[in-house]
Chains A and B, each alone.
Chain A
Amino acid sequence: MSGGAPHFRFVSRKRRVREDRRLVAGHGRFAADLQLEGALHVALITSDHPAARIVGIDAGAALAMPGVMLVLGGAELAAAVDPLMSGPDVPKVRRYPLAVGEARYAGEWVAAVVAQSRSVAEDARELVRIEYAPLPFNLDPEAAYLTDSRPVHAEHGSNVLLDRAFVWGDVDADFAAARHKLAYRVSWGRSSTVPIETFHITARWDAWAQMLDVWASVQMPKYQDQIARALRIPQHNVRVHYDIDVGGSYGVKRGIKHAVLVGHLSRLLNAPVQLIEDRLENMRGGDMQGPDRLFDVELAFADDGRIRAMKMRALDNCGAYAGRAPFQLGKPIGAIVGPYQINSVAYHAISVTTNKAPQEAVRGFGQAPTNYAIETGIEKVAAALGLDRLEVRRRNFITKDQFPYLIPSGTRYDSGDYHAVVDKVLAAADWPGLIAERDGLRKAGLLAGIGLAACLEPGGGNSSFEPLLNPRIDTTTWMESARIVVDATGTVSVTVHTTSSGQGHDTLAATAVGEVLGIDPDEIRVLRPDSIASLASNSPVGSRMAVMLGGAAFHAAGKLKTQLVAIAAHNLGVAAERLVYDGGTVREIDGARRLGWSELITIAHRQHHRLPPGVEPGLAVSHTYQVPTGGALPTADGRVQMYPTHAFEFHVVLVVIDPDIGKPEIRRYVIGHDCGTMINPDIVDGMTLGGIAHGIGAALLEEFAYDGEGQMIAQSFADYLLPSSHEVPEVKIVHHVTPSPYTVFGQKGSGESGYLGAPAAISSAINDATRQLGIGFHKLPMRLSEIGDAIAGAREEAKPSGKAKRK
């Protein structure tokens, strides 16, 4: 760790993650573990067609089966519930949990079968006859964007969900003045986080209590709000239980259509209803596929490789419905120049509907694809000028004395020292040795390449990307809360108001409170009230919890300290300014008088006669924390500060390819990471390593591939390839700490780390390895078959006999 980091007692220390103990013993509490008496089970009938009119649903034979309670179609459901919310301003792109009248992608839920067991529901599903009238379909976003394309939603009139061109700075002048320009296209294929747990939910409507209880493996902000709106009931009639362990999410476990469907079914059937997606339901129609994006980029740059201006067009294939996914074109605006000094930017963000499955938010919320597009450009500038790739990055980096640094799109980056991180990584990677190793491998007849990527991870943001991309929305608040209660015996509890999916929020909250109060975090209990008993909070999205929950817990603990000091001041007859709180005791700064923890607690809970006027009895404090950089609306030209913190990462990768086999092997991997103060280093490391593994998948293995018939063909783990321990190399992490000036401990968001740069780094390595053959890869994932075929083709081409044959 670098010098200059503040000193902490618990923060940044190697401390165990408290959540781990019960999980290693198999004593988690996952949504599917819940078995309610009399629960009914749902199996879904999904569309076989990428586009079809639903002519009729014949459920007669299914309903005749013993144990089958109901077969529900979209038309009946739509009469009882309101449409699900969309992010962009597209009121005519209506969406319900089940297709209404028309199915718009293969795998879309068309009907729900409810039975006394899942197996009976599955049996009954086979007997339901659905008559379809197939319609023309389209999977191509460029075709969808044409004005004469057939709209996926006829009422909406086009396929355009979002189409906004931003210009920040004098882009035309910068391009006109630049000595060099280049243009390129890269594409980011559709992949996702694909948690090992599919989406699980149980809902139970109690007509007497007028309460819908929901236990779900969810990571959705404003979940209860959206459920209540769709079901047309008051929000406090929906109780989402946050003490559920979520078996991985990384963005995608939004589950809003699932909740509205089972909530409605529970109300209709007056019984608890459970929906446990199987893997096929999850992959095809579970709302979990990620960005699917074409980038056309132009760069204007000088002889020395300094980039002056960038034009970027991002065309995103959103799939059949809008949801919040188009906003994934918005987050990258907060780091649109990456870690580089680019003077002006034109950004054209387009989201279109096609007959693919709808997208959902995925780790990074669109930042990883954008980083890949920017990093590809850096490599191209270096190649065009014959300059070293590393040197071009160094020349373009924002320097440490320029922070806070205002980028053209309105964000002020908080802090960083990119050059120092790069130097540390090169030292750790033994840069000259690495180059020698690569060159040695090449001499031995292998293809070998070094990959580089530098990028930022915006974290802890507000929701200003909503008004930025939909002027009808003016929400900018994106708070998180914590409450601390000290009971009459002096034990401390703190509350967290969301679910977690492995991010260690209990550990985070306890560490923050323990740090401020000077109490061992292991002695602090962390609780998760349900959504009604919770204070306003969002959920662990956008790398926000270290900043936001950490901030809320810090400030709540500060309030508690202030209250204890007031009690001591009153009882000691000393002004509060002359007292200091020190590890549970309040003592005079320059004197001997003091009041210990147990006496302070006793006064607060039992001795009203000793309580200062105006102080409430008992010890309970809460704090609701807004993003530390606030929440201003965007300017008319779309400048806005969404994210307060900007963590930096720098990847160095050595990839080897046996040209006869064509399969890349990652031989070395070093990442430098600066997320400011790490609250728990093991958690940060785990996120980073997991992010890199996910990035390896996105770069090489994972793709929701569709065939020419509009069918998604990667439907199982035999087709959709997740990296195993064999595909993920040992990774060396080099830490650097540049505290954020905006946050309570100097921490920055880091929940998306690793993933944001790994795909770019691996692409860089493979292109470095294959450049000598005159081939290149500009599309992720770089399928193993395509790499192998391209290498074989290039070698064939290079053979004298091969050339002769063609002549």
Chain B
Amino acid sequence: MQVSLHVNGTLHTLEVEPRLSLLDALRQNLRLTGTHAGCEHGVCGACTVLIDGEPSRACLMLAVRADGYAIQTIEAIAPAPGELSVLQDAFCETHGLQCGYCTPGMILAGHVLLKQNSSPTREAVVEAISGNLCRCTGYGQIVDAILLAAERLRAGNAAKTGGRP
């Protein structure tokens, strides 16, 4: 059947089997391979995408159900090819990853947290990424990355609005 997927600002009309997951549609049909399959039963979070701005499991959603939503994948986070977002750069600064497989999901979870809370506590960061499993890092440098990005974003915003009420 036909589905219209609004992904990273582009509308794609696809002919898919009703049973095709959103994850497979993104990876196979749209070749957006930054979203990864981990457990394919909704536990690990490697397939995290943003659906209308909320972190969601692409493995648990059928592609046809995603029609009409604004979908964002990791590929939409970098501002330009070769240029990192503040959060992505912070992951590089603290080495908040190793193999990189869970990383897109972690970045998206952190991205949403920082949109909603510019000054998260360590506990809030731990909670925000607790639905995303990582086997490499033990989470410490991921938490550090998100806290560093929050700090940098706050400093950046303060500089821009400096002097204003």
Contacts and interface: CB of A to CB of B under 8 A. Distances in A.
A17 B140 contact: no
A247 B131 CA distance: 18
A353 to B, nearest CB: 29
A535 to B, nearest CB: 25
A728 to B, nearest CB: 5
A733 B22 CA distance: 41
Contact of A726 (B28, B40, B99, B130): B130
A689 B99 contact: no
Interface string A761-785: 0000000000000000000000000
Nearest to B133: A722
A608 B86 CA distance: 50
B102 interface: yes
Contacts of B57: none
Contact of B78 (A19, A25, A28, A245): A25
B121 interface: no
Contact of B33 (A19, A30, A279, A689): A30
B97 to A, nearest CB: 6
A659 interface: no
Interface in A1-47: 16-17, 19-21, 23-28, 30, 32-33, 35
Interface string B119-144: 00010001101111111111111110
Contacts of B38: 196-197, 279
Nearest to A245: B100
A21 B82 CA distance: 8
Given A25-B84, A195-B101, A716-B41, A690 B94 contact: no
B143 A502 contact: no
Interface string A246-281: 111110000000000000000000000000101100
Nearest to B92: A20
A24 B84 contact: yes
Contacts of A754: 138
B40 A278 contact: yes
Contacts of B40: 278-279
B41 A250 contact: no
Contacts of A278: 40
B164 interface: no
A731 B138 contact: yes
A351 interface: no
A682 B95 contact: yes
B84 to A, nearest CB: 7
Contacts of A248: 98-99, 101, 135-136
Contacts of B92: 16-17, 20-21, 24
Contacts of A32: 27, 33, 36-37
Greatest chain B CB density within 10 A among A19, A23, A196, A718 is at A196
B80 to A, nearest CB: 11
A197 B19 CA distance: 22
A726 B132 CA distance: 11
Given A20-B91, A119-B17, A245-B99, A716 B129 contact: no
A194 interface: yes
B33 A33 contact: yes
A20 B39 contact: no
B36 A197 contact: yes
B43 A716 contact: yes
B67 interface: no
B41 A718 contact: yes
Contact of B139 (A119, A246, A693): A693
A682 B37 CA distance: 27
B54 interface: no
A24 B135 contact: no
Contacts of B101: 28, 30, 195-197, 245, 247-248
Interface in A556-606: none
Interface string B1-39: 000000000000000010100000001100111111111
A501 interface: yes
Given A25-B84, A196-B134, A247-B99, A689 B140 contact: yes
B91 A24 contact: yes
Interface residues of B, number: 57
A689 B141 contact: yes
Contact of A686 (B43, B98, B100, B132): B98
Greatest chain A CB density within 10 A among B33, B107, B142 is at B33
Nearest to A682: B95
Given A26-B74, A724-B133, A20 B95 contact: yes
A247 B100 contact: yes
A278 to B, nearest CB: 6
B52 interface: no
Given A19-B100, A502-B100, A716-B41, A25 B139 contact: no
B94 A501 contact: no
B41 A724 contact: no
B51 interface: no
A380 B46 CA distance: 43
A197 B129 CA distance: 18
Interface residues of A, number: 56
A503 interface: yes
Nearest to B87: A24
B133 A717 contact: yes
A263 to B, nearest CB: 23
Contact of B103 (A17, A24, A691): A24
A685 interface: yes
A119 B93 CA distance: 41
A637 interface: no
Nearest to B83: A25
Given A32-B37, A119-B17, A725-B143, A692 B138 contact: yes
A690 B135 contact: yes
Contact of B138 (A27, A195, A689, A716): A689
A217 to B, nearest CB: 9
Interface string B54-92: 000000000000000000011101100000100010011
B140 A730 contact: yes
Contacts of A694: 135, 138
Given A686-B95, A717-B39, A725 B135 contact: no
Contacts of A686: 95, 98, 136-138, 141
Given A16-B93, A195-B99, A197-B36, A717 B44 contact: yes
Contacts of A502: 97-100, 136
Contacts of A516: none
A683 interface: yes
A193 interface: yes
B102 A196 contact: yes
A754 B141 CA distance: 15
Interface string A674-694: 000000001101110111111
B137 A23 contact: no
A504 interface: yes
Contacts of B73: 26
Contacts of A728: 138-140
Nearest to B75: A26
A799 B17 CA distance: 63
A196 B45 CA distance: 9
Interface in A264-310: 276, 278-279
B97 A20 contact: yes
Interface in B108-165: 122, 126-127, 129-143
Contacts of A194: 135
Contacts of B37: 32, 276
A146 to B, nearest CB: 37
A504 B98 contact: yes
Given A20-B97, A502-B98, A690-B134, 10 more contacts: A25-B74, A26-B33, A193-B135, A196-B38, A245-B101, A686-B141, A690-B136, A722-B44, A724-B130, A728-B138
10 contacts: A20-B100, A26-B34, A26-B75, A248-B101, A248-B136, A686-B95, A693-B138, A717-B43, A725-B129, A726-B126
5 closest A-B pairs by CB: A26-B34, A23-B100, A502-B98, A502-B99, A247-B101
